[in-house]
Structure 1
């Protein structure tokens, strides 16, 4: 008997899962699906790669009434990439339930075309806060019938400054809604949001088996803001990464570093929220194919980024919390491969470094960027 059947998922969706190579539920799915099918609010702390999307999509699909011509479920997500990715996942799940209609609503799309689609039958809407709110204010989307609300990557929505928009959208949904909040980290504003809008939520926490760091050699190198870029270039020149991701704190820093590295002859592209959707897809495709050696990314842009063969991760800017650190370095050392993660640390980063080290993570200190760090 299928593990999903035991959890209460109907055969039509189990068949769709099998067709996508998913046979047994992951720990987050085993824990979240029964809670959500019971109609309870839930806060799930789970990283990318744990199977969290299916953990909330399946219970949503189980409760949709296709005969009702109204929006019954709303999934809010911080970026266009995630909205597209989630919509694609949902469509895979409903191949044998074609009467369920799903629509992605995000910026960068023609708003008039979206308005026309919203006039038709839509049961599930997956969207970014800005564009959703735009439709709410125009009166082109009706959310009062929404009884299932998911906030996906809630911490990233907060980091991107969407908290106000998210609260406004929540207030438009049914007061008796069931709410599900999925987040890799639980900063105070997220806890506060949960306290205000959720009813006795069940807490679910699952560690991702894909984000163990045993196969990743972790190093740190002390530098200064002035020498940081030269240090990174030395590291790249000495380690010759086949594919590497360089993490920057902001879009502006990612753009600036990308332009500078390009001018020096490196084969590099930036990945951040200011790029058009077409450009982001092109960058990711080129990176996967190995046409780009260095991807200069922000945390938000790299959420859900799953690319095989990344040999190195460089933290150009140190992450501000342990979960972000693990998420970043987890882009390498995947599928049994060894990976290398190097974090550049300036004197003012001491507080963040101590926070990471206090969690039990230890990074080997490199004497200089020229020192050999790819151990034999």
Structure 2
């Protein structure tokens, strides 16, 4: 089943705001970062990364963000939000007369909900800042305090981190926030869901200097907008899409069917042998299932790694890094990884268990079909998960309230996912699972 049509590839999106804004739809080619006035040092660094032209959210946000305007930026997962706020943040810290000269105390603070996303955003900003004197430090829980305190004491200009650890280090006196001129809240809806609101409010109160605030997320529920407007100065709300369009990518082919829980492993084994399958992320709902499925696939000869909450942070990071480098091509993960994997060429996402809510579904399948690539998202709806699926279906308008029942032997499965008849129950000798030394209780 294909998703309902979303924004055509040659259509430039609209901008809307409750206070200020511009509506615009054109067929022009996207501008480059240089066209929008970004500092040459940052443009050169992006060019070295193969990035020259802007995505829609970047094109719309940069002119305002470079001018210091408060922004609420909304775009689907995988459509360039990180550099939508990251490039103007670095540009202003580097070369804006309104930002105090660098002296080793933070000029910008980026708050994100998860460790994995912190690492991704920190790496992206450091890469874009490589030709400038700006130093970027990433702060999150699960790492020794000493190394993070040492980094802060050595001098840092941009701090990326998770709310709890950031607040803890501020309360200890190690993280100074009195000169922060740019604040970014990334994936704000996720932080609200995870209960970080009190920490975020405490961090905001610590920002005593005048500062620009940018809030970015793939979804923007009412409580987030209410919260944002309570501490932002006349923010412009930018949607890099038509507000009436579907929440999922048109570049992602969605295949949804009912699957008996005793047959799901066999179904996944078949899917992993589909023609043209590349990097693949398999999402599970529980840590135990993630660990067990990764071990089972390793026994069947698949190169696989695991990422779940019972693994230590260094182990999780090793699995993610190996996946990014292509050393393993399959990652079995809980939702802890859904917003922290920045790999543009994931060809398949498999929902081994139905997500708990529509936005989890959107963020999971947003790991494929990114940055101009096409992708396939497969959802295995257990017989006991049909009601949960119907809620997702109704919210997202997917028009499939009763998915068909398929088995690992169903010809419809092979046809829908281009699985060859030669697919077997295993693909080779057992392999060691990266991150799979032990299974959680």
Give the TM-score of the pair, scaled to structure 1: 0.84
**Partners in 1 of 2:269 and 2:235 — Cα distance?**
50
CA 1:294–1:117: 2 relative to 1, 3 Å: closer
What is the aligned partner in structure 1 of residue 191 from structure 2? 157
Alpha-carbon displacement from aligned partner over 1:253-276 (angstroms, at most 9, x marks no partner): 534655677689876543124423
CA RMSD of aligned residues (A): 3.3
List alignment gaps of at least 5 residues for structure 1.
none
Tell me how far apart the structure 2 counterparts of residues 291 and 67 of structure 1 sit (CA, whole Å): 39
Q: Partner of 1:109 in structure 2?
A: 143
Residues 259 and 407, structure 2, Cα contact 8 Å, conserved in 1: no
Aligned to 1:73: 108
> Which shows bigger deviation, 133-142 or 338-347?
338-347
- Deviations along 1:30-50, one digit per CA (max 9) or x if unpaired, are 111122122222111123321
The more displaced of 207-216 and 131-140 is 207-216
CA contact (8 A) 1:50 1:210 kept: no
Aligned length: 370
Q: Deviations over 1:19-64 (max 9, x none)?
A: 2211111111111112212222211112332121111112112222
Q: 1:210 to 1:19 in 2, by over 3 A?
A: farther
Offset of residue 321 of structure 1: 4.2
SS across alignment from 2:317? helix
**2:247 and 2:396 in contact (8 A); partners too:** no
User: How far did residue 339 of structure 1 move?
Assistant: 2.8
User: Distance between the aligned counterparts of 1:286 and 1:95, measured in 2?
Assistant: 23
Paired residues for 1:126-137 under 5 Å:
126-137=160-171
Instruction: Measure the CA separation in 2 of the matches of 1:272 and 1:137.
Output: 29
Match of 1:144 among 178, 203, 212: 178
- Per-residue deviation, residues 293-346 of structure 1 (Å, max 9, x unmatched): 653212231224244775543323323444432332344466666635133144
> Is 1:219 aligned with 2:259?
no
In structure 1, what is the Cα distance between the partners aligned to 2:153 and 2:329? 44
CA deviations on 1:79-115 (whole Å, 9 max, x unpaired) are 22222222222222222212x2222212233212222
Partner of 1:219: helix, strand, or coil? strand
Tell me, which stretches of 5 or more residues in structure 2 are unaligned?
1-29, 94-99, 419-441
Q: Residue 329 of structure 1 corresponds to which residue in structure 2?
A: 365
Q: State yes or no: 1:232 paired with 2:243.
A: no
After superposition, the Cα gap between the structure-2 partners of 1:140 and 1:107, relative to the gap in structure 1 and judged at 3 Å, is same
From the superposition, tell whether residues 91 and 287 of structure 1 become closer, same or farther in structure 2 (CA, over 3 Å). Answer: closer
Aligned partner of 2:335 in structure 1 is: 299
* Aligned pair partner of 1:87 in 111, 122, 126: 122
What residue in structure 2 maps to residue 45 of structure 1? 74
**Which residues in structure 2 correspond to 1:198-277 (within 5 Å)?**
198-207=232-241, 212-213=249-250, 216-221=253-258, 223=260, 228=261, 230-241=262-273, 244-251=280-287, 253-255=289-291, 258=294, 268-277=304-313
